[in-house]
Structure 1
């Protein structure tokens, strides 16, 4: 299969895996705190990756470990906790739609950090995406007074972390295999995640049934939604571009919204409009 075909297979696979991650986070939060959920997600992914990829750690040059560590914190550690905290207050489907700002933020960061010039159409894409995001959030706040939509800002911050991450991988780690990058990321994060987990009081509640059920969801999230998905994602970046790889966020809301419907979530008509505007803005900014 050619790289042109393979990148689309990877993209669709990622859309299904990451689109399902938001409902797994929601189910995990039934018995876990956001800090416990984020930590377990990283720990389960680290155990899985070390089991299959520990030999790949030796081929990472010493000079590149600083970039491996930086991408670990920006691409995994910080977003893992931000998404968990955000979904204590906003629906999983809304979280996935705001996550679709990632390609737009990738473009912004590329322009600011690497001097990539904006085309007029891309500028309007950024503006339209921001308008759609505000419409989605403000209408959600009005129609869901029991939810604190200020927490949506955390998802936006996470999408900026992803945007910086993909640019760094493309620029500094393209010579490494996806399994090397991913395993390196999680060996860096294992001790910090264990520290946060021990500090969260997790081991005092492991006997609670709902906690045990939540852990099962996070095992799937950690191994499949984080470990395997990151390998596929890094491979997609290497055979395509940061903008193409992050365009998976066009498809993620479709999968996440379908899971949300099954779990009795529903967007208002105005939020649907906001979601469409966000995706249209991202399309304009990413279109060649």
Structure 2
């Protein structure tokens, strides 16, 4: 399937997916000026869940069944969706949206790292270890490059720590999905959204005051996040996976940061330091090594001379 020729609609689907996910960071930055991070996530997920319920009814998508499936949904919905959403919402106001997008490029590396630790069939080859070292060096460059001359590095590390924890939650989704029992992709998405919504509501009620008033900008941003980057992107992603392959859709990991950088520059005039660009390209370079796109050329062996 990976070798088949892609159609224009395949590339259009990938481009729309990249734009929807890439636009979420700038929208979050706008939204948190009008609503607290937790309630922003809660409203976002309620909107997405309502859209998914209507879609599931229309397309006859079943709910997860039994404790084994719902147990997996509890993990994916809470630790793989709701909590990362909350962490990103807390971090984005303190870093450029472009940088938040760049941190998403670390997800494939974390998937690789977790696979080596939790999946016995994955081998810690020298090439994979090298790619991880290069990737972590890239992350370090992005973080260090964000510190200005008068910035307290210890304080500036906090939003990056939140982003790394968030991306770790996203990365564990892939590991848990490989360990869980087989179930339809849309059912998995349906159950995950429902659990994530319940988790976000509970966290918001416990840790953040209920907003008594909300501007139309806050409602609009939360609705956009719920409908476009959360619900619509999920539908496009799973349809694209069914039509093409997971490997084809995984290219979004490399493209989403580019969209986040471009939108951040257009909307807020955000600029990245040269060191942060170096870090981003180091991450991509390490991923290309890990995926086998960049390989060391073997020198041809000369024939053994006759004795």
- State the TM-score, normalizing by the size of structure 1: 0.87
Distance 1:223 1:81 in 2: 17
Q: Does 1:135 align with 2:138?
A: no
Distance, in Å, in 2 between the alignment partners of 1:287 and 1:262 is 35
Aligned to 2:296: none
Q: Is the 8 A contact 1:101 1:278 kept in 2?
A: yes
Q: Give the equivalent residue in structure 1 for 2:233.
A: 229
Quick check: which one's helix share is greater? 1
With over 3 angstroms needed to count, the CA separation of the structure-2 counterparts of 1:97 and 1:173, relative to structure 1, is farther
Contact 2:56 2:62 in 1 (8 A): yes
Cα drift, residue 159 of structure 1: 1.4
Does residue 295 of structure 2 align to residue 287 of structure 1? Answer: no
Residue 186 of structure 1 pairs with residue 218 of structure 2? no
- In structure 2, the residue matched to 1:70 is 75
- Determine if the alignment matches structure 1 residue 32 to structure 2 residue 40: no
1:151 is aligned, of 159, 168, 177, to 159
Mapped pair 1:16 → 2:24: no
The alpha-carbon deviation at position 237 of structure 1 amounts to 5.7
The answer to whether structure 1 residue 90 and structure 2 residue 95 are counterparts is yes
Distance 1:182 1:64, change over 3 A: same
CA contact (8 A) 2:78 2:199 kept: no
Aligned residues: 281
Superposed, 1:163-178 pairs within 5 Å as 163-172=171-180, 174-178=182-186
> Partner of 1:88: helix, strand, or coil?
helix
Q: In the aligned structure 2, how far is the partner of 1:122 from the partner of 1:51?
A: 43
Which structure 1 residue ranges, 5 or more long, are not aligned? none
Kindly name which structure, 1 or 2, has the bigger radius of gyration based on alpha carbons: 2
Contact 1:236–1:245 (8 Å) recurs in 2: yes
Q: Give TM-score scaled by structure 2 length.
A: 0.82
| SS of residue paired to 2:146 | helix
